[in-house]
Amino acid sequence: MQATTIRRWSFVHTWTSLICTLFLLMLAITGLPLIFHHELEHLLGEAPELREMPAETPHLDLQQLVSAAERHRPDEVVQYLGWEEDEPSGVVAIMAATAGTEPNSSHTFMLDARTGEAVEMPAANGGLMMFFLRMHVDMFAGLPGKLLLAFMGILFVVAIVSGVVLYSPFMRRLEFAKVRHERSSRTRWLDLHNLIGVVTLSWALMVGITGVISACADLLIEAWRTESLAALVEPYRNAPPLVDAAPASNLVQIATNATPGMQPDFIAFPGTRFSSEHHYSIFMKGSSHLTSHLWTPVLVDASTLEVTAIGGRPWYMDALSLSSPLHFGDYGGRPMQILWAALDVLTIVVLGSGLYLWWVRRRGATSAREVTA
C-alpha cells in the first residue's frame, strides 16, 4: 500500500475513532448490564413477582384484563397488552393518558392473568435498568439522541473498516497476534489494540450495524405506518370516528385462526402507533427461535371484530425485529450472554487503548515541536 494511501486511511481511522469513542464507551458501559437485564432486575428487586397459585388456575379473558388495567389506572387508556415469556401468567400492560401518547410518557405494569391483580414493574418506569436503557438508546434526548447515536454507530463501522485496512499491511511485518513486550509501552499497547480489535472484529461490526438499525427504530416504524399500515387501512380513510370498541375477549382466538401455527406477542389497541383509529392490531410471531422475533400483524375491525387484513413484513421491519435481540445477545441463553459480556469488555479495552495511543502520539508530536522550536 502506498504511503499516501496509508496516510489517508490513517486520517479516516483516527478521526472517525476519536469522534465516536466517548459515545461508544458510554454505550459499551451501559450495554454491559443490559446483557443481563433479566438477572439484574431480579437482583435489584425491579422484576415483578406474581403470587404462588395452583398450576391449574384458569386465566381471565382479555376484556377482563383490560377492565382490571383500567381500574388500576382509571384516568388512562390501554395502549398495549403483551405476553411475558418468562412468566406464563403475566400480561404486560402499557397505559397512558391517550392512545397516541409517546412511549416514554406511558406507564408499564404487569397483570396477573389469573386474578387481574396489577403488579408494578420498576425496571420499566424509571428504575436503574431503565436508566441504563434510556442512556443506551437515546441519552434521554428522544429522537435527536437516537439519530446522534446512529451517526456515531456509522462512524464506528467506518473506524473498524479503516482499521482493518491499516492492520493488513502492518501484520505482514509481524507474526499474527504478536505483542512486542520488549518495546515501549506505546508499542505494546498498539499491538494489544490491534490484536483485540481483530479478535472482536466480526462482533463489533455486527453490534455496530444492529445498533444503527435499532437507533433508527422511530424512523422505520414511521415508514411502516406510512407505507404498509396505511395501505392496509385505506378502506377506513373516510370512516366515522370509532365510538365504542368491541370487547377484546376473543382477539387472540381470532388472530390465531387467521394465522395458523403462530402465537400472539402483543396487541396494539385502536389509536396507537402500531394500529389505526379503527383497528386492534394483534402481532403474531412464529414458534421457532428465529421466527419468534418476526411479527405478522393481524388487523381486526374494532367494531365488528372481523379480520380486515394480514400484513406482510417489509424487510426493514424484519431487520429491526432481529437487530435488538442480536445486539444484546438474547438469542442463545446464558453462554451467549457471557460471550457478549466478554466481547463488550474487550471492546472497552480497544476504545480506551485507542484514546491512550492518540494521546501519547499527540503529546510526543507536541514535545518534538517544542524541541525543534
Determine contact, residues 325/289, Cβ cutoff 8 Å.
Answer: no
What is the predicted pLDDT for the residue at 215?
A: 96
Local structure of 263: helix, strand or coil: strand
Query: Please, which residues have CB within 8 angstroms of residue 165's CB and are 6 or more apart in sequence?
Result: 1, 9, 13
Determine contact, residues 247/266, Cβ cutoff 8 Å.
Answer: no
Residue for grid cell 499491511: 169
What is the predicted pLDDT for the residue at 181?
A: 62
For residue 262, count other CB atoms closer than 10 A to its CB.
21
Determine contact, residues 298/284, Cβ cutoff 8 Å.
Answer: yes
Helix ranges (DSSP H) in the chain: 3-35, 37-43, 62-72, 128-137, 142-171, 185-199, 201-215, 217-224, 230-232, 251-258, 315-328, 333-372
pTM: 0.88
What is the predicted pLDDT for the residue at 176?
A: 58
CA 286 to chain centre: 19
**pLDDT of the chain along its 373 residues, tens only?**
567 777 888 889 889 988 999 999 999 999 999 999 888 988 888 888 898 999 889 999 999 999 999 999 999 999 999 998 778 899 999 999 999 999 989 999 999 999 999 999 988 898 899 999 999 999 999 999 999 999 999 999 999 888 888 776 666 666 655 666 666 676 676 777 777 777 788 899 999 999 999 999 999 999 999 999 999 999 999 999 998 999 999 999 999 999 999 999 999 999 999 999 999 999 999 988 778 889 999 999 999 999 999 998 899 999 999 998 889 887 767 888 999 999 999 999 888 888 888 887 777 655 555 445 4
What is the predicted pLDDT for the residue at 44?
A: 87
CA dihedral 219, 223, 225, 231 (to 10 degrees): 180
Of 116, 25, 30, 34, residue with least CA distance to 68: 116
